[in-house]
Amino acid sequence: MSRKLLAALLTLLAVSAGCSSRTGSPTPSSASYRVIATTNVFADLARLALGDTVPIDSIVPAGIDVHTFEPSPSDAAKISAASVVFMNGLGLDEWVGSLIDAAHKSSNDVVRLGEGLDTTDGWSYLTPSSFSSTHASDPHIWLDPTGAALYVQRIAARVAHDRPDLAAPILAASTKGLAHIHALDLEVGALFAALPAANRKIVTFHDAFGYYARKYGITVVGVVVEAPGQDPSAREIAALIDAIRAAGVTTVFSEVQFPSKVLTSIAAETGATVLANLYSDALGAAPGDTYLSAMRANATAIAASMQR
Amino acid sequence: MNPLDLLLTPLSYDFFVRALVASALVGVACAIVGSFVVLKGMSFIGDAVSHAAFPGIVIAYLVGAPIILGGAIAAIGTALGIGAITRRSGLRSDAIIGVLFAGMFALGVAIFSSIPNYVGDLFHFLFGDVLGISVGDLQALTVLVLGLLLLLRLLWKELLFTTFDPLGAGAAGLPVRRLDDLLLILIAVTIVVSLQAVGIVLVVAMITTPAATAQLLVKRFTAMIQVAALIGVVAAIVGLYVSYSLDIASGAAIVILETLLFLLALTFTAIRSRIYATRVGSQS
Amino acid sequence: MSNTPDAISLVDVTAGYGDRAAISGVSLNLAPGSLTAIFGPNGGGKSTLLKCIAGLLQPWSGSVQVLGDRVGVHAKRVAYVPQAEQVDWSFPVSVGEVVMMGRTPALGPLGRPGVADHAAVADALARVDMVELAKRQIGELSGGQRRRVFLARAIAADPAIYLLDEPVTGVDPTTQEKIMNILDAEAARGRTVVATTHDLACAAQRFHDVVALAGRVVAHGPAQLVLDQSVLEKTYGGHLVPLAGGGVVLLDDPHHSHGAHEGHE
C-alpha cells in the first residue's frame, strides 16, 4: 500500500470517527484493545507504527529463537487478551496458530505481516533457489528497512481500522516512524556503498540476511545452519570452510539465540573471528533493544568486519 | 571419484580429524567397558545410565557448570543406586531400572522444557555433536581413555575374577562390592564422556554391539575385549567417512555399521556351526 | 584331644535370607586336617553354613572364627568352590585362566602372575588330570571336567581351608573318585576340608567326619553317623520312608526346593 493511499485512508477514518458505527465486524471496545506481536522485533515495529496509543506486547522472550519456539499455556492467555495478533507468517512463527486456535480467535484477528506483499506492494520474495533455507520463501523481510516500512504501514492500517477513534494519533506516529526507517535506510546504504564490492561478504549463522544482502549489495558467502534446529553435516561444514577461505571472509557472525560449537570450530579452522552481536529474529539488550538501534548496530558491526 | 581423494579430502579439515579421533576414542572406551556390561547382562543398565545423565546435563547447562560434571554426577549416582537396589532386593530388578531410567529422563525433559531454548542443543544431547568437538574436548577424552586402560591393566585379574565368579572372589577376600561399584562408575563415566560424540540415544549401542559381536567370534575374554575395541575403532572411523559421503548423521552411521558387523558375525557363526555339525554328523 | 586351635569355629550362629532363618543356633568346631561332610535335607542350611564360613553371608547372631580370627581376616587362605549351577559356563575363559584366578589372593592388588604362579597352576592342573585341556573354554567341558577345574583353582590357591558346595553331586564315579582322592590328600597334609553333599554313601565312605544339619546341628561326629537311623530320622524327618522288612528309603531329590531359597541369592 503506498504511503499516499495510507495517508488518505487514515484521514478518512479520522474524519469519520464521529459517525455512527458501521454494520459488519464489531468495533473493538476502546478500553481493552491490546496489540500482540509474536516477537519483540514486530512489537517494536508496532511501536513505530502506533506510538503509545495502545498497549503492545510480544510473546517470544528475549534471547530465544523464534523458529523453534515452543509456546506455553501462559502465552495462550496473552493471545486471548489481545484484540489483534501480528505475526510474520511464511513459516517463521507458525507455532502461533495453535495458540490462536486455543484462544478461539478467528483468522480475522491475525495479520500475517510478511505474506502477500508481492501483490499489494510489489515486493519480490526470495525463493529457495536464491537462499538456502527450507522455508517456501525467505521470511526475514523486516531486516530490509524497506520491508520493515511495509510492516509498519500494515500495522498502522489495521489498528486504525479497528480503532478509528485513534486514527489521527496513529497517523502521526506512523509518519514519524516511517521517516526514521527511511533515514536508517539511507544511513546504512551509505555505509556499505563506501566499501568496495569485493569486501562486501559475510557469513552468518542462519539464513536471515537474504533481503538485507540484496538491498545493500552484500554477498552471503555461506551460513552455518540451513534451518535453525538442524545441524550441518560434515560435508556442509567442509563446504562452508572452503567458501570462507575462498572468499577471504575474516568474520563469522553468530547470533545471540544460537550457541554453537560448530561455529567456533569453523572459525578456528579458517582463522576467522566469531562476533556474537548480530540481531536477526530478535532484539536484545541495549544497544539492540529497538529495531532502529539494532539495525544500526548490525550495520556498524558488519561494515567494520568488512574492513579487516 | 578417486578413492584416495575420498579418503584424504575430509582429512584436510581439522574438525573432521578431531571428530575422527574423538569417535575412535569413544569407540574404544565403550567397547572395553561394554565387554563387561555384556558379560554381566547389564546392557539395560547401560541404557538407563545414559538416559539418567540427561537431567544432570540440563541442570549443569542451566547453572553454567561444565556439562560433563552434571552428567557424570547424575549418571554415577544412578548407576550406584541401581547397584545398591539390585543388591538389596536380591532380584534382577529390571522393573526398578526401567522406573529410574524413565523417571530421570522425564525429569530432564521437564527441566529442559521449562527453559525456552534453542532446540538444537536438545538435539546435541540426544544425538551427539561430534562435528563440534573442540581441542579441549579431545584432550579430556584422551585422558579418560588412558585412565580407563590404566585402571583396567592394574585391576584386570580382580575384575575378571569378580565378573566371572563373584562368590568365589568374595570368599577369596576380594572386595566384590567395591569392584562392582567401580565398574559401575567406569561405565557411567564412559557413557557421559561418549555422549558428546554419539548422544544419549545411541551410546548404549556403542557399548553393547561391538562387545556382543566379539563374544560371537572369540572364546577368551582378553581376545573379546581386543576384538570389541577393534570393531569400535573401525566402525567409528568408517562410520564417520560414510556420514561424510552420504551426508547423514555421524552417530547413526557408526551404530548402523556396528549393527551390520554384528549381523555379519551372527551369519558367519551360524554357517560355521552348521558346517561343523554336518561334518560331525557325517562322521558318525 | 590335641591343643591345636580349631580351623573353623562357629558359636551359636543364626543366619538366613530375607526374614527366614536357614540355620539357627549352630555351634561347630572343625579341627585342622579334618575332612568333614555336611549333609541334610534341602532347605536345611548346608549352603548357608558354608557361606557363613566363607564370609559370603553375615550371620544375624553368633560368631564365626576362621583360623583363629573373625571371618574375612584370613580370606586369602580360604578357597571356596561354588555349586556348579551358580557359574556362568558361557563366560569366555579357558581352563588355565580359571585356575590362575585362584592365584589372585596370593598375587595381591598389583601383582602379575610370575613363574611361581604359573608353576602352581600347572601343578594344580596336573593333580586333576586337566593339563591337556588347559586352553579349552570352560563351556566346552563335561560336568565332571568342570568340577575338576574349580577344584584345581582351589588347589592353586594353596589354601588352609577348602569349602566345597556339592563337589561330587551329579558327577560320574570316576570323577568322584578323583576328587575325593585329592580332598583326602589335602586333609592328610593338614588342610581343613569341608564339603556339603547329598550323597550319603560318599559321605559315609570317603569322609572322616560328618555334620547332620537340619536348620540346626543334629549331630557331629565320625562318618558312620550317616548310617545311624536315629540320626537320619532326626535330620530328614518326613523324608524317610520305611520299607517293609525293615530299612528305610530316603527321599531327598537334590532339586526339590524345600521352602524358600536354600543357598541361592
Q: Residue C157: which of B172, B219, B220 has the nearest Cβ?
A: B172
Distance CA B117, CA B99 (A): 27
The model's pLDDT over C59-106, given as tens digits with 9 standing for 90+, comes to: 999 999 999 888 888 888 999 988 877 778 889 999 999 999 999 888
Residues C53 and C166 in one domain: yes
pLDDT of residue A19: 46
Percent over 90 (pLDDT), chain B: 39
- List of domains in chain A: 3-182 (3.40.50.1980), 188-306 (3.40.50.1980)
Residues C40 and C170 in one domain: yes
B91 touching C, CB under 8 A?
Answer: no
- Asked if the model's pLDDT at residue A24 lies above 50, the reply is no
Whether ipTM > 0.85 holds is no
B-to-C residue pairs, Cβ atoms closer than 8 angstroms: 90
Q: Which three cell numbers stand for residue A147?
A: 520491508
| Residue C93 forms part of a structural domain | yes
Residues C164 and C144 in one domain: no
Long-range contacts of C170-178 (CB under 8 A, 24+ apart): C170/C84, C170/C143, C170/C254, C171/C143, C171/C144, C171/C147, C172/C143, C172/C144, C174/C144, C175/C143, C175/C144, C175/C145, C175/C147, C175/C148, C176/C202, C178/C128, C178/C129, C178/C148
pLDDT of residue C63: 92
User: Angle of helix B67-89 relative to helix B94-114, nearest 10 degrees?
Assistant: 150
- Asked if the model's pLDDT at residue C242 lies above 80, the reply is no
Distance CA A275, CA B63 (A): 24
Question: Domains of chain B: which residue ranges?
Answer: 18-200
Residues C61 and C167 in one domain: yes
Percent over 70 (pLDDT), chain C: 90
C134 touching B, CB under 8 A?
Answer: no
Class of domain B18-200: mainly alpha
- Asked if the model's pLDDT at residue C265 lies above 80, the reply is no
**Any idea what DSSP says for residue A62?**
T
pLDDT of residue C124: 94
Residues C60 and C101 in one domain: no
Which chains would you list as touching C if contact means 3+ CB atom pairs under 8 Å? B
- Asked if the model's pLDDT at residue A263 lies above 90, the reply is no
Residues C101 and C30 in one domain: no
Indicate which CATH number applies to the domain containing C208: 3.40.50.300
Residues C168 and C238 in one domain: yes
Domain count, chain C: 2
| Residue C105 forms part of a structural domain | yes
Alpha-carbon separation of residue C200 from B257, C40, C168, C240 (angstroms): 57, 9, 11, 13
Residues C114 and C26 in one domain: no
Q: Residue B131: which of A68, A237, A258 has the nearest Cβ?
A: A237
Residues C50 and C167 in one domain: yes
Q: Which of A145-149, A273-277, B162-166, C57-61 has the lowest mean pLDDT?
A: A273-277
Residues C151 and C223 in one domain: no
On average, the pLDDT of chain B sits at: 87
pLDDT of residue A7: 65
Q: Tell me the chain A residues in contact with residue B130 when contact means C-beta distances shorter than 8 Å.
A: none
Q: In which order are the strands placed within the sheet that holds C217-222?
A: C78-81, C161-165, C192-197, C35-39, C209-213, C217-222
- Asked if the model's pLDDT at residue B113 lies above 60, the reply is yes
Angle at A50 between CA A47 and CA A56, to 5 degrees: 55
Domain boundaries, position C99: 82-159
Q: Tell me the chain C residues in contact with residue B224 when contact means C-beta distances shorter than 8 Å.
A: 92
Residues C117 and C17 in one domain: no
Q: Tell me the chain C residues in contact with residue B168 when contact means C-beta distances shorter than 8 Å.
A: 80-82, 101, 150, 153
CA B123 to mean position of chain CA atoms: 19
Count of CB atoms situated within 10 Å of the CB of A217: 12
Per the CB < 8 A criterion, the answer to whether A186 and A80 are in contact is no
pLDDT of residue A296: 92
Per the CB < 8 A criterion, the answer to whether B135 and B18 are in contact is yes
Give mean pLDDT, residues A174-200. 93
| Residue C181 forms part of a structural domain | no
Q: Tell me the chain B residues in contact with residue A257 when contact means C-beta distances shorter than 8 Å.
A: 118
Give mean pLDDT, residues C240-252. 69
CA B114 to mean position of chain CA atoms: 30
Long-range contacts of B269-276 (CB under 8 A, 24+ apart): B269/B216, B269/B217
Residues C164 and C48 in one domain: yes
